[in-house]
């Protein structure tokens, strides 16, 4: 196995650079480091991938990944479901990392720098599915995420899925969404690429 291949892992059919790969090292040297925890793929994204592979969205759906980081959900949806995908993150510094993963996986992803509260209703209304993994880790994120979900529901977004290990802010958000939108909170687990468990918050219309 070459050094290049050694530092690329494959998970759910996606190729992902390890931090030791020279491409990642070069990016970290040449560009600004992500500021809001967008420095790797967080495992909750894999929980969403597993759910999507069992509950496949329609081909060519419009799908938005929020708090996208390296964008593996958007990339997966482009590759496996031929979706029109947009990746949103408040930290512009994540997008060079997302772009190299999109190129590695031959995916086309539209990037957008935005905070949750600044996303326009017209853009939200275009989406069939909104996804986010490990995005509710601070208490101050609960309200903007709740309001985004509320706007998505009002604008007819079919499904919203947020995954988390089970942090307190996420569980508070889940409680509000269950009460106000009839959300479902599922306990889920995975064993690849490592053993972890967590939760899926699912809002459907």
- Would you give per-residue pLDDT tens digits along the chain (205 residues)? 344 567 898 988 999 988 888 888 888 776 666 555 445 677 899 999 999 999 999 999 999 999 999 999 999 999 999 999 999 999 998 999 999 999 999 999 999 999 999 999 999 999 999 999 999 999 999 999 999 999 999 999 999 999 999 999 999 999 999 999 999 999 999 998 889 999 999 999 8
CA distance 94 to 86: 14
Q: Which CATH class is domain 3-204?
A: alpha beta
Element (H, E) at 129: strand 129-133
Give CA–CA dist 40/86, Å, rounded: 19
Give this prediction's pTM. 0.91
CA separation, residue 78 to residues 3, 22, 63, 67, 171 (Å): 28, 26, 9, 17, 30
Q: Which residues contact 48 (CB under 8 A, 6 or more apart)?
A: 73, 131, 133, 161, 163, 200
HSE-CB of 194 using CA atoms within 13 angstroms = 7
Check the CA dihedral 40-42-46-48 and report its sign.
Answer: negative
């Amino acid at each position: 196995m070459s050094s290049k291949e050694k530092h690329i892992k494959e998970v759910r059919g996606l190729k992902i650079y390890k931090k030791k790969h020279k491409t990642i090292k070069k990016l970290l040297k040449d560009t600004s480091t992500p500021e809001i925890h967008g420095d790797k793929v967080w495992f909750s994204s894999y929980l969403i991938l597993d759910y999507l592979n069992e509950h496949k969205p329609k081909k060519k759906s419009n799908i938005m990944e929020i708090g996208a980081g390296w964008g593996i959900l958007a990339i997966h949806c482009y590759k496996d479901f031929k979706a029109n995908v947009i990746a949103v993150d408040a930290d512009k510094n994540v997008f060079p990392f997302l772009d190299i993963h999109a190129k590695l996986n031959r995916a086309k992803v539209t990037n957008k720098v935005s905070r949750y509260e600044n996303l326009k209703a017209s853009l939200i209304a275009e989406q069939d599915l909104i996804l986010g993994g490990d995005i509710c880790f601070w208490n101050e994120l609960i309200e903007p995420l709740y309001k985004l979900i509320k706007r998505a529901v009002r604008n007819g977004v079919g499904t919203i899925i947020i995954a988390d290990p089970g942090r307190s802010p996420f569980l508070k958000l889940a409680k509000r969404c269950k009460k106000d939108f009839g959300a479902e909170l599922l306990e889920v687990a995975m064993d690849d690429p490592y053993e972890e468990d967590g939760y899926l918050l699912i809002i459907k219309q």
